[in-house]
């Protein structure tokens, strides 16, 4: 004859075939569900489990443990620790209770998830604001871009912490990464290269977390040109090559990365590789596009005038003054066809500086001074790091070449360059312009 259990708890445990390990797991999971956040989670040792089921208690367990047991068995604790009545709830009734309880929990969890979403319109507005900032980047002062992009990144992070919807989480990661990328560019333009590097790395992490290769490619490209600006062109070549291997990037991204790679080879003195990379920037492409470089574009794009300006700088590094002059003139021709309010001041000034440099190297001082007329018109708040580096190289050239040494015109030009640099945005922030060029 079977031994009669001393408590209803023992009868139910036996009926459900629960050993200690299974009971303890169920107890722990129920405790997490029913107890308030921050409330200590009670535990059950094996000896305690045997006392509970063996009828050895003189009083009920602690209130928190009783609450968990009541949730597990849907009965008051006093009834669970009393002797079983003649009729113990059947397994069918227990399964029905479990189904009902689980269904109610699923419904509650779904409701919580729905309440944790944010309005799609909030994300749409954030996306529009970032797109507008990217597309107007080069017509705004760098410090203004910095403030706007920092505010938008903070907004993306606030939204991301509020939502539990996976698709919203992913899009907000991408948007936060775009904002971080714009912050990196603004920090670079203001001469804060260490901060720019950190922000570009952060943008790459956002892109990796969101599984969005175009953002990773853009971030690695930014890190690449920061690398050659800070004297590590070999690292720049490696970063650009890595970014070119990412799937899902369009032709614009490839042109940008090849141009960066070409410049890095130029700084290394590898003329053959620099020319080869320039050639790749003008290859006919597949027509592939991506959301960041092509659809949003702006600062994320790489328009023809920017490509030509980049190639003129690479040609100067390679000692090809003919190609440098041709590419710089091409950049100026393209950009001056645009309405004045859509012209990129850094490209306009940078191409002018490159053209002047090419002409000085050819001995055409009058032509070089004519080319600089456009550059002098760039306002101080738009004299960014890349332009200042070109101007610094121009100053070095004029000061070092014997043909210009001692001339009044050369002295006047050096003095004007120094004033141009001294009144720039980076100089006002006490950031020294780098010795290389963007």
Confidence of residue 358 (pLDDT cuts 50, 70, 90): very high
Give the model's pLDDT for residue 431: 53
User: Any idea what DSSP says for residue 89?
Assistant: P
417-426 mean pLDDT: 88
- pLDDT over 50 (residue 434): no
Find the angle CA(355)-CA(359)-CA(360) to the nearest 5 degrees: 115
Give the model's pLDDT for residue 438: 42
> What is the percent of the chain where pLDDT is above 70?
89
Q: How many residues does the chain have?
A: 438
- pLDDT over 50 (residue 435): no
Give the model's pLDDT for residue 404: 76
> What is the percent of the chain where pLDDT is above 90?
62
pLDDT digits (tens, 9 = 90+) for 383-399: 999 999 999 999 988 88
Domains of the chain by residue range: 8-115, 320-438
Give the model's pLDDT for residue 102: 60
Give the model's pLDDT for residue 388: 92
Least confident interval from 11-25, 326-340, 387-401, 417-431? 417-431
What is the SS3 assignment for 119? Answer: coil
84-96 mean pLDDT: 54
pLDDT digits (tens, 9 = 90+) for 363-380: 898 999 999 999 999 999
CA distance 206 to 254: 20
Determine if the pTM surpasses 0.75. Answer: no
pLDDT digits (tens, 9 = 90+) for 265-305: 999 999 999 999 999 887 766 789 999 999 999 999 999 99
- pLDDT over 90 (residue 427): no
228-249 mean pLDDT: 96
Average pLDDT, the chain: 88
């Amino acid at each position: 004859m079977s031994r009669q259990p001393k408590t209803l708890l023992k009868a139910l445990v036996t009926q459900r075939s629960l050993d200690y390990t299974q009971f303890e797991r169920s107890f722990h999971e129920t405790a997490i569900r029913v107890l308030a956040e921050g409330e200590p989670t009670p535990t059950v040792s094996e000896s305690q489990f045997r006392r509970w089921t063996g009828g050895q208690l003189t009083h009920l367990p602690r209130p928190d443990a009783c609450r968990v047991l009541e949730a597990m068995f849907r009965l008051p604790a006093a009834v669970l620790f009393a002797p079983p009545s003649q009729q113990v709830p059947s397994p069918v009734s227990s399964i029905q209770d479990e189904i009902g309880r689980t269904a109610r929990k699923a419904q509650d969890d779904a409701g919580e998830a729905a309440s944790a979403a944010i309005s799609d319109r909030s994300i749409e507005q954030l996306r529009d604001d970032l797109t507008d900032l990217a597309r107007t980047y080069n017509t705004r002062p760098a410090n203004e871009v910095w403030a706007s992009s920092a505010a938008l990144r903070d907004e993306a992070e606030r939204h991301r912490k509020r939502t539990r919807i996976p698709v919203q989480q992913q899009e907000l990661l991408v948007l936060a990464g775009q904002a971080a990328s714009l912050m990196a560019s603004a920090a670079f333009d203001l001469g804060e290269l260490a901060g720019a590097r950190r922000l570009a790395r952060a943008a790459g992490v956002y892109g990796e977390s969101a599984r969005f290769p175009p953002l990773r490619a853009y971030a690695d490209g930014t890190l690449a040109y920061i690398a050659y600006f800070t004297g590590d062109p070999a690292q720049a070549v490696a970063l650009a090559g890595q970014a070119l291997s990412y799937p899902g990037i369009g032709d614009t991204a490839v042109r940008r990365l090849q141009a960066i790679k070409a410049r890095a080879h130029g700084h290394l003195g590898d003329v053959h590789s620099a020319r080869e990379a320039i050639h790749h920037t003008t290859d006919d492409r597949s027509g592939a596009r991506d959301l960041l470089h092509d659809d949003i574009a702006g600062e994320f794009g790489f328009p023809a005038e920017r490509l030509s300006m980049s190639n003129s700088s690479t040609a100067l590094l390679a000692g090809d003054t003919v190609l440098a002059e041709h590419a710089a003139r091409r950049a100026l021709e393209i950009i001056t066809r645009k309405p004045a309010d859509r012209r990129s001041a850094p490209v306009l000034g940078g191409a002018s500086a490159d053209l002047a440099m090419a002409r000085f190297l050819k001995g055409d001082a009058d032509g070089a001074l004519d080319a600089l007329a456009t550059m002098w018109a760039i306002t101080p708040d738009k004299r960014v790091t890349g332009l200042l580096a070109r101007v610094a190289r121009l100053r070095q050239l004029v000061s070092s070449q014997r043909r210009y040494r001692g001339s009044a015109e050369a002295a006047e030009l050096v003095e004007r360059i120094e004033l141009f640099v001294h009144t720039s945005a980076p100089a006002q922030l006490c950031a020294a312009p780098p010795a290389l060029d963007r």
